[in-house]
Structure 1
């Protein structure tokens, strides 16, 4: 359905005879629309809008719908209204609409997208609300004009999002719904590896994600369990070499991998090493390793370690290590 939003177009100027008749109401007469998809109105661009309003005033009326109690509910113009509130303007010009097409939620999204695109979390919340109202993902995607896969990615922001994901989003470290969706999937497989990788990363981009995914794949199915054990296990001086009774954690790992005593090998700075997953790191983003030919264990950034193999441990110190360029 094509919606006529010409009333809201920047280029749609009112004829000179109508300018003086635009009504103005005090700010207290307005109320925000609880269903407005935009709620992240703050930010650098909003500050620019405030500065523009300070210098020029509100040049385009907001569009409202009159409520039974006499208040004016904002349909279009939330950012202009909030800018007026910030500057404590005496009043705000407005236009009352009774056009049912402008009451359509998708029209509200479209108008917001044309002025300033909605933030990912705003669009995700809108999609989640539509799904709760009974619409299907494909239907929502079609009406928004986006790919259905984008709907799946966006929902990762609102469907029980873990605290670390929201921290990435609100901290501006990553705002890409697709990247955050992929991180959630990797985190479900190997939570500690992902969290340590995040702690050690500078930028979250496609190359970094590909490297992280390769690390998780190389670690194998036991990576999540082994890493979680390492995060909560008491420190030990070395990987146990005794062939005695099998621990419950080793038995669980063997049940998953078929390896009785799994050992994870890798390469750091061109040197072959074995990861010591039973030692508690001193801080986020670190892991204990033992280099080939050395008896002492050292800590290195986990993001700098390239995993090369998950194998059966051999002997007291593991197999002969082989550096991989």
Structure 2
């Protein structure tokens, strides 16, 4: 039987070593560092687990213009591509690789490092977060990848990344929002503050469109999300979502962030019991829930 991964270990081979590679790659310099070697662009490939999913065309064009004049000042960090001899996978620097192709460079400077899958993902997240330009959804997806693939906890993530646990938890909650709301975040039409006000709301998509159209502030968005639902008459036996106390709503959001699906709790006033409803969107989500309940 294959050994199970040790979930209590620290992140990768130690963030101090990983940070050293990233800092070396991102530190400003007035002249190019000597890379390990120059590699043809067609032998360099993006990391399929790259946490950043969106690249601004305008920003890439601007970087390409700079590369045409000054070249690539900061070499890419790459590792030998698994199962593809003489090819390399980008660990850090995909924006430079993309811009180099726009600038029609035939080769790119690289620093070759031996990283395993865990370290590749960690370095990619660190590099993007250090540059402070990763949108909230991509950042949250990166954290979720580390937690799901390698068993890291929110506490581990917070300590290793120099973030508070609440910051990690709030980001992960964003992944429970409807796909269209997540896209608004990715496109910069909503901020993380706007989106947090919509987590767990049954009309998140409609409210998001309203916030964008009316150009509401975060505080105004929070007030909008707290307004009672406009319904003709509550059905018998149904709990009005607006009547739930703050603790119940918070528990719903915590569970939704942890399970990755919508959670509704209907607690019967004056009793110790109630009902909890889980809504899954795909059969894969249902399988994940069954495995979690079985302890697997």
> Residue 64 of structure 1 aligns to a residue in which SS?
strand
* Alpha-carbon distance in structure 2 between the residues aligned to 1:98 and 1:114: 22
1:198 aligns to 2:215 (yes or no): no
Cα distance in 2 for partners of 1:143, 1:182 equals 27
Alpha-carbon distance in structure 1 between the residues aligned to 2:236 and 2:180:
27
**2:168 counterpart residue number:** 151
Matches for 1:11-90 after TM superposition, within 5 Å: 11=28, 19=34, 23-67=37-81, 68=83, 69-90=85-106
Q: 1:26 and 1:57 mapped to 2: Cα distance? A: 15
**Alpha-carbon spacing, 1:25–1:202, altered in 2? closer, same or farther (3 Å):** same
Contact residue 64 and residue 76 of structure 1 kept, 8 A: yes
Cα 1:47–1:175, aligned 2, differ >3 Å: closer, same or farther? farther
Give the secondary-structure state (helix, strand or coil) at the position aligned to 1:2: helix
2:113 is the counterpart of 1:113: no
Matches within 5 A, 1:222-241: 223=229, 226=231
Please state whether the residue corresponding to 2:198 is helix, strand or coil: helix
Query: If the length of structure 1 is used for normalisation, what is the TM-score?
Result: 0.57
Structure scoring higher RCO (CA < 8 A, sep ≥ 6) equals 2
User: Which of these two proteins has the greater Rg computed from alpha carbons?
Assistant: 1
Contact 2:80 2:86 in 1 (8 A): yes
Structure 1 position 252 matched with structure 2 position 235: yes
Contact 1:156 1:180 in 2 (8 A): no
1:211 corresponds in structure 2 to 223
Assess if the C-alpha contact under 8 Å between 1:102 and 1:108 holds in 2: no
Give the TM-score normalised by structure 2: 0.62
- Distance 1:30-1:163 versus aligned 2 partners, 3 A rule: closer
Q: Distance in 1 between matches of 2:64 and 2:155?
A: 38
CA distance in 2, matches of 1:103, 1:157: 25
Cα offset, 1:166, TM superposition: 2.9
More helix by share: 2
Q: 1:180 aligns with which of 180, 187, 195?
A: 195
Compared CA separation, residues 192 and 103, structure 1 to 2 (3 A): closer
Deviation string, structure 1 residues 165-185 (Cα, Å, up to 9, x no partner): 134324432031x42122133
CA distance in 2, matches of 1:125, 1:196: 23
Structure 2: gaps of 5 or more residues: 1-14, 241-296
- The alignment partner of 1:106 has SS state of helix
Aligned CA-pair RMSD: 3.4
Deviation at 1:194, TM superposition (A): 3.2
Q: State the 1:132 CA deviation.
A: 1.2
Runs of 4+ in 1 over 6 A off after TM superposition: 99-102
Out of 103, 110, 113, the position equivalent to 1:94 is 110
How far apart, CA to CA, are the structure 2 residues paired with 1:112 and 1:196?
Answer: 28
Residues paired across the two proteins, number? 220
Equivalent of residue 123 in structure 1, options 125, 139, 155: 139
Say whether the 8 Å CA contact 2:136–2:171 is kept in structure 1. Answer: yes
